[in-house]
A and B are shown apart, each in its own frame.
Chain A
Amino acid sequence: EADIYQTPRYLVIGTGKKITLECSQTMGHDKMYWYQQDPGMELHLIHYSYGVNSTEKGDLSSESTVSRIRTEHFPLTLESARPSHTSQYLCASSPFEGPYEQYFGPGTRLTVT
């Protein structure tokens, strides 16, 4: 079982609120990722990081932002939540070297009303 954690697991929030989804890993992995997944659909990469102070946008455009101040922590923030942000958000990490094995957290199910 991978040591990667996400909080909260479920969040229901009103439109216009600022939210931060937390992700932390205890494996010392350099690379971390945020994916967005709608029901029955594939995962889409929205942000990734090679290490501390490194953040990049993924393939799917997202209004969210991320930061990487510490190796183990990779939070995602939405400044003003909208119903279109309703989705499942999955965090993952992987060691810098190796066959790109990614370890996933349990996910945060976000509902914006």
Chain B
Amino acid sequence: KNQVEQSPQSLIILEGKNCTLQCNYTVSPFSNLRWYKQDTGRGPVSLTIMTFSENTKSNGRYTATLDADTKQSSLHITASQLSDSASYICVVIDRGSTLGRLYFGRGTQLTVWP
């Protein structure tokens, strides 16, 4: 069964600190993996997209890693800001369908305290 598991479920850090969010998946065949940021009451916004051949990709203070062999990804946030408080969702795309089937994790709820 295709699944996406994220950890931790929630995380509280102080402003300025770094943190790492984890994503494990069993989706096959794999097309690409995305990390989305979802603010409360808003729709998800894409942060990064990683294909099978990419190991690391950065977007400002966000750095995503992918190990396609172990089917694990991480999202590292450096120098956190209050505006980083949101749910971070790992999404894996299935290469096997023309629809581009998305499998969503439940997200990690990040809270940044001043």
Q: Give residues in A with beta carbon < 8 Å to B.
A: 2, 4, 6, 31, 40-45, 48, 50, 90-92, 94, 99-107, 109
Contacts and interface: CB of A to CB of B under 8 A. Distances in A.
Contact of A99 (B44, B49, B89, B107): B49
Interface stretch (B61-69, B72-80, B96-104): B96-104
Interface of B is mostly: strand
A105 B102 CA distance: 16
Nearest to A56: B99
B114 interface: no
B24 interface: no
Interface residues of B, number: 21
A107 B104 CA distance: 17
A99 B105 contact: no
Given A42-B104, A42-B105, A106 B43 contact: yes
A102 B102 contact: yes
A43 B99 contact: no
